[in-house]
A = this chain, B = another copy of it.
Amino acid sequence: MRKLYHYPISPFSRKVRVMLAEKELPCEVIIENFWERRREFLAMNPAAQVPVLKEADGSIYADSTAICEYLDERYGDDPQYSLIGRSVGERAETRRIAAWFNNKFYYEVTKYILDEKVYKHYRRQGEPDSGAIRAAKSNILYHLDYIAHLTREHKWLAGERYSIADITAASHISVLDYFSDVPWNHSPAVKEWYALAKSRPGFRLVLEERIPGFRPPSYYDNPDF
């Protein structure tokens, strides 16, 4: 059986879970407290990051973007079903936007919230730094405007088809939403796009999960908000 070592509120884990669901690939999910740096886990991924995918044949895949590329290459023979795109140009645009959320959005928004609210709590490193939280809450507005801008041009972020760009962005947004850190009133267009993304395969599974000590708002796993 295929196994995914993940952590429920890692946006990178969520992205791969949704990708697996889109490809209809069954998978046993195993929660990995990656910050504990378990020996067997480090042997699979010396970067000590989730997610890590272990195929039934024992082959191991790490780095969420490399895993998504792998899944699309290995289980997407028909380019019609590629979640990266069909044409070379479409694929470049999808990857550009996915990278925006994997890197820029992560370091400007998600990382602040997770580090301050969650990982500090689990590592008993004290109270959240209010300056860092404020920075994240201010930075997210510009990113929501960017999502709104992209959805004015197309149905989905990278074009007319749902892609890894949407999966990546929605994974980050869903993590922030767990902590009530998405100002939904800021942009109706973003809310509309996210409601569509939430109704895609895989998101239900992702939104069902809870982590100890933190409870999401009531609308969090409602696909219609």
Which of A186-200 touch B at CB < 8 Å? none
- Residue from the list B70, B88, B100 in contact with A91, Cβ < 8 A: B70
Q: A88-B73, A91-B73, A103-B103 are in contact. Are A96 and B46 (CB under 8 A)?
A: no
A62 touches B96 (CB 8 A): yes
Q: How far is the CB of A41 from chain B (nearest CB, A)?
A: 15
A87→B130 CA distance, assembly (Å) = 48
- Tell yes or no: A61 within 8 A of B by CB: yes
Looking at chain A's contact residues, is the secondary structure mostly helix, strand, loop, or mixed?
Answer: helix
Task: Please name all residues of chain B whose beta carbon is closer than 8 Å to the beta carbon of A107 when the two chains form the complex.
Answer: 107
Answer yes or no: A123 CB below 8 A from chain B CBs: no
Interface size on A, residues (CB 8 A): 25
A104 to B100, CA, bound (A): 16
Q: Does A146 contact B (CB under 8 A)?
A: yes
Chain B residue numbers with a CB within 8 Å of A70 are: 88, 91-92, 95
A135-176 toward B: CB 8 Å interface, digit per residue (1/0)?
000000000001000000000000000000000000000000
Residue with the greatest number of chain B CB neighbours at <10 A, chosen from A67, A103, A146: A103
Closest approach, in angstroms, between the C-beta of A177 and any C-beta of chain B?
23
Name 10 interchain pairs, CB-CB below 8 A, sorted by A: A46-B146, A61-B96, A62-B96, A63-B96, A65-B99, A66-B92, A66-B96, A66-B99, A67-B92, A69-B92
Interface contact A63-B95, CB-CB below 8 Å = yes
Q: Give A224 Cβ to nearest chain B Cβ, in Å.
A: 31
Rounded to whole angstroms, the CA-CA distance of A103 and B111 in the bound complex is 14
For A211, list chain B residues within 8 Å (CB): none
Q: Take A69-B92, A70-B91, A88-B73 as given contacts and tell me if A63 and B99 are in contact as well, using a CB distance cutoff of 8 Å.
A: yes
**By the criterion CB–CB under 8 Å, are B74 and A88 in contact?**
yes
